[in-house]
Amino acid sequence: MGKGPGSTKNIKSLTTGLKLKDGHYFRTTDVIGEYHSPSIKDGNGKYISDDFFYKNAKDSNVDVSLLRPTQFYVEKEKIELMLRNTSIISNGNAPIEVIKKGNDYFVWEGHHRVFTAKLLKIKRVKVKLLEV
């Protein structure tokens, strides 16, 4: 394989030094940042549902460095797959779902994409953004 983002050599260089749990999971905190477990509710005091999110979220672009994980681990195999096919992130066809609460941007769905974007040093990503 060549030297492109999806080459085996490049994938190994991007993931070298990352700790694995049970041989299959990377810790999100090693790449994305400090883990958060926010209690995010809508204006009526109810926890955010998929239906509420999709009815109210807007298309946006966000600086990757602002995104905070809400889960501890991502699967090594999925990260390697995304590193082989970087268009999953770069074309924006699968925007990352983000909830903004105050000045914080919490990843609701898309931890693997954020993790991969950080490894690839991508600065901004397309998101579906819900502000609460």
Residue pLDDT, tens place only, 48-59: 777 888 888 999
pLDDT bracket for residue 3 (50, 70, 90): very low
Q: What is the mean pLDDT of residues 99-109?
A: 89
3-state helix, strand, coil in the chain (%, to 5): 35, 30, 40
The ranges assigned to domains in the chain are 8-131
Span 4-61, pLDDT tens digits: 455 565 666 767 666 666 667 677 666 666 655 566 766 677 777 778 888 889 999 9
Residues 8 and 1 sit within 8 Å (Cβ to Cβ): yes
pLDDT for residue 2 = 42
pLDDT for residue 93 = 75
pLDDT bracket for residue 64 (50, 70, 90): very high
Q: What is the mean pLDDT of residues 69-91?
A: 83
Q: What is the mean pLDDT of residues 88-98?
A: 81
CATH number among 3.40.50.150, 3.90.1530.10, 3.40.50.10610, 3.30.420.40, domain 8-131: 3.90.1530.10
Per DSSP (E only), the strands in the chain are 20-21, 25-27, 58-63, 67-68, 73-75, 96-101, 104-109, 124-131
Q: What is the mean pLDDT of residues 113-119?
A: 89
- Quote the percentage of the chain above a pLDDT of 70: 69
| Mean model confidence pLDDT for the chain | 79
